[in-house]
Amino acid sequence: MPLALTTKLQATNALLAAVRQAPVQTIAGDLGADTAMAVALLEDRSRAVQSAGWHWNTVPKLTLSPNTSGEIVLPEGVVSADPVPGEYTDIDVTVRGEKLFDKKNATYTFTKDVKVTATYLLDWTELPEQARSYIFHSAARRFQDRLLGSREDHFYQQQDEAEALAILKLWDSEQADNSIFQADVTLNSLLRY
């Protein structure tokens, strides 16, 4: 029987195990203080890790259109939107709150669509296993540091976290199929000849 992906409940119980607490049967409803803290830290680490932008949670060349008032409101779950390089010279776009802001013209108003690379914050069930593993190992080390502060436990959990991050980076790089020929600078140089 194949192994299943790590559930949010399993990840929460991994955090509780890191501080020598008994596992829980659910993370819904009224939670104890340690369980609530574990769930909150797991969600915080998930946001932080995903905000960095990975191949698995980004959409390149997503077209965003202005609404009737000329504003571009980001789709739900989008944490960053970076304009496609070299596409625009008349605007300098950044994210402010849940909307795009044109720094060059100091306005939230846009007259045309903007193509961006969008980074999404995904729900736990949408995360690849490699990301789940890194997130809960990172959260477990922080949870242990805050509740117990054991140097020995910190060392072992730091090793687990580093290994999980290395696996995530390797997997993400393989998924992206990156090559030097995909870089804009290299591509532009090749196209000149």
Could you tell me the residue ranges of all domains in the chain?
8-52+131-176, 56-120
**pLDDT interval class at 186 (50, 70, 90):** low
> Strands, DSSP E only, in the chain?
58-64, 78-83, 93-96, 99-102, 114-120
Please give the Cα distance from 1 to 70 (Å, whole number): 54
Q: What is the full DSSP assignment across 56-89? A: GGEEEEEEE---TTSB-BPPTTEEEEEEPTTS-S
What is the three-class DSSP state of 98?
A: coil
- 47-104 pLDDT, tens digit per residue, is 999 999 999 999 999 999 999 999 999 999 999 999 888 888 888 999 999 999 999 9
Q: How many CA atoms lie within 13 A of 24 on its CB side?
A: 22
**Whole-structure pTM value:** 0.84
Q: Give the model's pLDDT for residue 154.
A: 73
